[in-house]
Amino acid sequence: MSLITTAAPRTTATPAATARRRPARSAGTPYAFLAPAMILFAAFLAAPIVYAAYLSLRKVKVSGLGLGAKSRTEIWAGLDNYARSLSDPDFLPSVGRIGLYGLIVVPTMLGLALLFALLLDANRTRRSVGKFARISIFLPYAVPAVVGSLLWGFLYLPRVSPITDAFEAVGITAPELLSRDLTLWAVANIAVWGGTGFNMIVIYTALRAVPLSLYESARIDGASEVAIAWRIKIPIVTPSLIMTFVFSLIATLQVFAEPMTLRPLANTISTTWTPLMKVYRDAFTRNDLYAAAATSVIIALATFILSFGFLKLVGRRAFNQED
């Protein structure tokens, strides 16, 4: 006696039936999720940029003594504010000062960040040591720029600085770190101290994505640790180095907090020591919002041109892009 079983016929749902069972989704749902970010972007980034560009093309015309209700009227200025900003005798020296500052800060900071990342990656198996070292190197980045500048500012002051006491203990005259010749290096030191940790984390994260088997293969072929770092690790993290370079370039052009915080402690830092300090002076000391807006637009354009130009120059080679 045999049992004959018949399989139930399988029904295949048609695409139309599947679409009917799928819950309907409104076409505006993605935009509803994007709306908060778009509103914040428009209100706190796009609108101020547009308003600054608008102010840079305006100026105030004063009639008579400028005391009446209608004695000051805002009129079209064209490019006059840009001409005044570029011809200001304090503008070009501040740009040159920032150029020297960038030549000191960017290579030093990225070089230290790469060195620390390579050292941490070489000791990847020692988790306790690596974790403590990562936190120690990254911690200065978590300190606000104003607080860090104040800490270093008091370390620079000869009367309260333990650095001065250490020099005098061995019979050496301590250098005046806030003197005219060393102020640039003093400000650059704060930037390097505060920014190295962030760049190190970015580079180290890229190194962590590389499988250990690749390094083991190189060691089997007789490559030393220096050769592995130079021929394998550094080429792999080149995109991360480019990204950190762009970030550092933008931060260099916008340096403000460090010299502004050190200014009350030293008479070697003027109100126009950096371009952004000049913007602050024009806007809040001279009450010339129009010239300040023009200088701000110039700084923004310079930042965009330098960043985009650098990415265009090295992007295809670093990121394997094709025309």
* pLDDT tens digits, 114-166: 999 998 888 665 666 667 888 889 999 999 999 999 999 999 988 888 888 88
> CA-to-CA distance for 96 and 207, rounded, in angstroms?
36
Which residues are CB-neighbours of 109 under 8 A, at least 6 positions away?
Answer: 191, 192, 195, 196, 199, 248
Run of H or E residues at 187: helix 183-208
Averaged confidence pLDDT in the chain: 85
Q: 271 or 317: whose pLDDT is higher?
A: 271
Confidence of residue 3 (pLDDT cuts 50, 70, 90): very low
For the segment 275-300, the average pLDDT, to the nearest whole number, is 93
Per-residue pLDDT at 284: 92
Confidence of residue 168 (pLDDT cuts 50, 70, 90): confident
Query: Do 95 and 275 touch, CB atoms closer than 8 A?
Result: yes
Determine the distance from the C-alpha atom of residue 223 to the mean position of all C-alpha atoms in its chain, rounded to a whole number: 36
Cα radius of gyration (the chain): 29
Confidence of residue 28 (pLDDT cuts 50, 70, 90): confident
For the segment 195-211, the average pLDDT, to the nearest whole number, is 92
Per-residue pLDDT at 210: 85
For the segment 25-37, the average pLDDT, to the nearest whole number, is 83
Domains and CATH numbers, the chain: 38-76 (no CATH), 81-319 (1.10.3720.10)
* pLDDT tens digits, 206-215: 998 888 888 8
Q: What are phi and psi of 136, to 5 degrees?
A: -65, -40
> CA-to-CA distance for 321 and 12, rounded, in angstroms?
45
Q: 197 or 159: whose pLDDT is higher?
A: 197
What's the pTM?
Answer: 0.83
Provide long-range contacts, Cβ within 8 A and 24+ apart, for 116-125.
116/196, 116/200, 116/204, 117/200, 117/203, 117/204, 117/207, 117/237, 118/207, 118/229, 118/233, 120/200, 120/204, 121/204, 121/207, 121/208, 121/233, 122/225, 122/229, 124/208, 124/212
* pLDDT tens digits, 251-262: 999 999 999 999
